[in-house]
Amino acid sequence: MDRIRIVGGNPLNGVIPISGAKNAALPLMIASLLTDDTLTLENLPHLADVEQLQRILGNHGVDISVVGRRERQGEAYARTVHFTARTIVDTTAPYELVSKMRASFWVIGPLLARMGEARVSLPGGCAIGTRPVDLFIDGLEHLGAEIEIENGYINARAPRGLIGGRYVFPKVSVGATHVLMMAATLAKGQTVIENAAQEPEVADLAKCLIAMGAKISGAGTSTLVIDGVASLSGARHKVLPDRIETGTYAMAVAMTGGDVLLENTSMDLLQNALLAVSRAGVEISPEGDGIRVRRNGGDILPVDVTTDPFPGFPTDLQAQFMGLMTRANGVSHITETIFENRFMHVQELARLGARISLSGQTATVTGVPTLHGAPVMATDLRASVSLVIAGLAAEGETTVNRVYHLDRGFERLEEKLTNCGAVVERISG
């Protein structure tokens, strides 16, 4: 099993290109099931989750071809991929595939809308929380779906098609918003979704669906209005930049010091997170088509944050920010409101010398002058990269085990950091 070795102490200086967003790419790929024409996605990141979803879509009959590769060191950056679901050969998403990646459950919406039926395995639990699918089921039932749960599968039927309706989410759910919006594009009549997720990835999916012929208004707000159409066509769409990757590298620069230009991204994607980093004593400014991040000499200042749905502080950056706060000159408080079990990185950060105490959903972080390298273990995607951030500033050598978590969401992390002066290498086996 691969692991990553880090020798800390080097500031980061240079340029880091930001990849396409994983959290946008996955629903965009699934949207290809809505049409028998070709959906072409540009700037698709090369990630384990993307590769897994390609296998899942192939199981449904989607033809996938990769073209226009831009090669660096033998592999493709910013891939352009064609998805053609001309014939859906199977409306079942089996457990052995869905269990490997939770987002694959989202195929239930497009399959039900286009084919009138879907049989999708329940995804089960997750390392960072249970994340139940009740909102997905309730929302689809409001569009006229007939749903039964049997033997670990959701059997959904709409033999006469879905019917537009009004649905108010009892709590914000990005995944359920994706699914209900996709399903509503082919429903008869108008659908109104209230308390919808406002994340940039939701707006990006809406932009793609509109290019495919959908009639959607309100994307990026809490109220979506979708007028169903008889069919959707193909389109060409560029995946938006990864705001979580952007925030992660901004925090890495804040942790180590230095001066880095984050290319191909925008401050608008994560204003609250960048505000928290700037309050920690870091200079952040737009520059060209990217963001300049600098911290030269000054202390890291303590900052309190609470995770919230967009436009609040992202839960997917909580672990990374905690890594940064371990070196702050003072005490900070980090409160997690989205997932009930997203502090598993605390014990691993403690192995590096961090001082963190937990009380309910709040972590109190007392900054220390120095972290010390040690072997640590990744427990999930975002937790794993928080250990990398801490290791970059720790004295000596840090080894991060179970890096397959990193491969799910960070494209060429070692290469990007090494190009900016970090000592990071992957050790195979």
| Confidence (pLDDT) at 74 | 44
**If you search the block for the tokens 């900054």, which residue do you land on?**
367
Burial (Cβ within 10 Å: 0-12, 13-18, ≥19) of residue 160:
exposed
State the pLDDT at residue 297. Answer: 81
Is 172 annotated in a binding site? The answer is yes
Identify the CA nearest to 407 among candidates 75, 35, 122.
75
150 Cβ partners below 8 Å, 6+ apart?
none
Catalytic residue of the set 15, 89, 126, 331 = 126
Residue 66: C-alpha distances to residues 41, 43, 48, 54 (Å): 10, 11, 16, 11
What pLDDT does 55 receive? Answer: 94
Other beta carbons less than 10 A from residue 15's beta carbon: 12
| Site of tokens 């000054």 | 298
Name every residue whose Cβ is closer than 8 Å to that of residue 51 and which is 6 or more positions away in sequence: none
What are the φ/ψ torsions at residue 262 (nearest 5 degrees)? -90, 110
Residue 363 CB partners (closer than 8 Å, separation 6+): 322, 333, 334, 335, 336, 343, 346, 356, 357
Q: What is the pLDDT of residue 77?
A: 63
DSSP 326-340: TTSSSEEEEE--S-T
Tell me: is residue 174 an annotated ligand-binding position: yes
What is the CATH number that goes with domain 24-238?
Answer: 3.65.10.10
Compute the distance between CA of residue 134 and CA of residue 283 in angstroms, rounded to an integer: 43
- Asked about 208 being catalytic, the answer comes back as no
Is 331 annotated among the ligand-binding residues?
no
> What distance lies between CA 4 and its chain's CA centroid?
21
Query: What totals of helices (H) and strands (E) does the chain contain, helices first?
Result: 14, 26
Structure tokens at 328: 């702050």
* 171 marked among binding-site residues: yes
Q: Measuring CA to CA, which residue among 349, 355, 348, 350 is closest to residue 332?
A: 355
CB–CB of 30/53 below 8 Å? Answer: yes
Q: Known binder of ligand: residue 402?
A: no
E-assigned strand segments in 86-188: 92-93, 117-121, 146-150, 153-157, 166-168
Q: What is the C-alpha separation between 95 and 124, in angstroms, rounded?
A: 9
pLDDT for 298: 87
C-alpha span between 330 and 392 (Å, rounded)? 20
Query: What Å distances lie between residue 403 and 49, 56, 70, 236, CA to CA?
Result: 14, 23, 26, 33
pLDDT score, position 67:
76
60 three-class SS: helix
Closest listed residue to residue 394, CA positions, set 356, 345, 351, 346: 351
Kindly give the pairing relationship between strand 290-295 and strand 283-287: antiparallel
Residue 92 CB neighbours (<10 A): 17
Whether 24-238 and 3-16+242-427 are alike in CATH topology: the answer is yes
Residues (pLDDT < 70) of the chain are 68-77, 124-131, 340-341
Q: Is 22 annotated as a binding residue?
A: yes
Peptide bond into 311 cis (omega under 30): yes
pLDDT value for 127 = 41
Domain map of the chain by residue range? Answer: 3-16+242-427, 24-238
Cα 214 to Cα 209: distance, rounded to the nearest angstrom: 5
Q: Tell whether 63 is in a known binding site.
A: no
Q: Is 188 annotated as a binding residue?
A: no
One-letter amino acid for residue 318 of the chain: Q
Would you say 277 is a known binding-site residue? no
Q: Rounded to two decimals, what is the model's pTM?
A: 0.94
**Class in CATH terms, 3-16+242-427:** alpha beta
Torsion of CA 394, 378, 325, 18, to 10 degrees: 90
